[in-house]
Structures are given as structure tokens and as C-alpha cells.
Amino acid sequence: MEKYKTFVEFGTGLGCTAFAVASAMKENGEGKCITFDNGREYDGASNMSYQEYINSMAHKFGIQNHFILSNKEIDFTWRDRNKVDCVFADFDREVATIERLMSWALYSIDDYASIFIDGLYNYKEGFYYTKLLVNKLNENKIPNFLLAHKQFIEEHSFSLTTIRKEDTHNTGQDSMCWIKIESDNI
């Protein structure tokens, strides 16, 4: 099992993924889960703001030392001195967003990292674009929007795996794509 030190999630929703990751980090005694969401889809049924609700749940689970909610638009401007081990994206699967995600990730991730994009396989344009992009990165055919990361790309290998899961509630999230990034330097 991976022991992530820095896990970044784009699209918190009700916090299921972030809470599970932060709970594992608490159990491991290290790590920080940073999650981003504007909270626009939260209905406020509990008479709390989105940020209050998510943070109250983090306190309830006792994971506040391993959990940070950034209640803002997802704009891929966040930077940290620590490199990111894992990225989980669950909010937008359009090509333009995938490009912004990949540009941010190649700046921010560690030499051995994973990027998970939930539900991507169901968005064919985004899925096939991501598949083509991963192939091009492995061929060192770097698109213009990633030229700033040329050295990183040349020193790493990329793989794309589709993980199928059952969608009993027909939510459109019956698959996840995993981009695995590994350094070529041994």
C-alpha cells in the first residue's frame, strides 16, 4: 500500500475520498491531504456553509492534522514546497481541464506519482485525448502547453490504466483512469 506524504484532490464533493485518504495518513502517522472545491453543489441542508460542514466532518473523524480544505475555485495555481505523490481529480473531464491538470501536475509531482481521474472513461473525448497524450509523452513528442516541463517528461515514463468499477446508482462514475509516472533514472 502507498503511504502518500502529499495527496491533492480536485473536487472534494462531500469529502469521501479526502476523508479516507486523511484517515489512512492519520493511521500512518504522516501525510497531508489537500482538497479543493468551491462548494457550489452543496445544498446547505445542515444550516452550515460548505466549508464549515467539511471541516466539522474532518474534526469528527479526528483527521484535522492531515486534512486541508481549500474552499475556492479549482484554478491549478496552488503550489507547495513538498512534491505531490498523488493527485485525484473528480470535477471536470474536458480536454482543456486535462491540459491544465497535467501542466500543474508535471510542475508539482514527485518522481514517482499517480494521477487518478474519476469517471474519465465515460467522457470519450477526454479519455481518448488523455490516452493520446500519455503515448506522446512516452515518445517525447511534447505538446506546446507542456514544453516548460520538457526535462521532466524526458526523464520519466507514463502509463495509463483504466480501472472499471460497478455503478449501481447510475452516477456516471463507473470507471477511473490512472496515470502512473515513474522516473527513468534508477
| pLDDT band of 43, cuts 50, 70, 90 | confident
Q: Which of 4-18, 58-72, 154-168, 169-183 has the lowest mean pLDDT?
A: 169-183
Look at residues 118, 84, 105, 104 and name the one whose alpha carbon lies nearest to residue 16: 118
Please enumerate in sequence order all residues whose Cβ is within 8 A of that of 107, keeping only pairs 6 or more positions apart, or say none.
79, 148, 149
Residue 36 and residue 83: Cα distance in Å, rounded? 17
Task: Report pLDDT digits (tens) over 134-150.
Answer: 999 999 999 999 999 99
**Quick one: cell of 6?**
502529499
CB 39 within 8 A of CB 13: no
Look at residues 53, 17, 51, 61 and name the one whose alpha carbon lies nearest to residue 8: 17
Residue 169 and residue 166: Cα distance in Å, rounded? 9
**Quick one: cell of 105?**
501536475
Give SS3 for 9: strand
* pLDDT at residue 26 in the model: 97
* pLDDT at residue 1 in the model: 55
Task: Report pLDDT digits (tens) over 48-87.
Answer: 899 999 999 999 999 999 999 999 999 999 988 889 999 9
Residue-range domains of the chain with CATH? 1-78+85-90 (3.40.50.150), 92-186 (no CATH)
32 has a pLDDT exceeding 70: yes
Residue 25 and residue 3: Cα distance in Å, rounded? 7
* pLDDT at residue 56 in the model: 95
Alpha-helix residue ranges (DSSP H) falling in the chain:
16-28, 50-60, 95-108, 124-138, 150-154
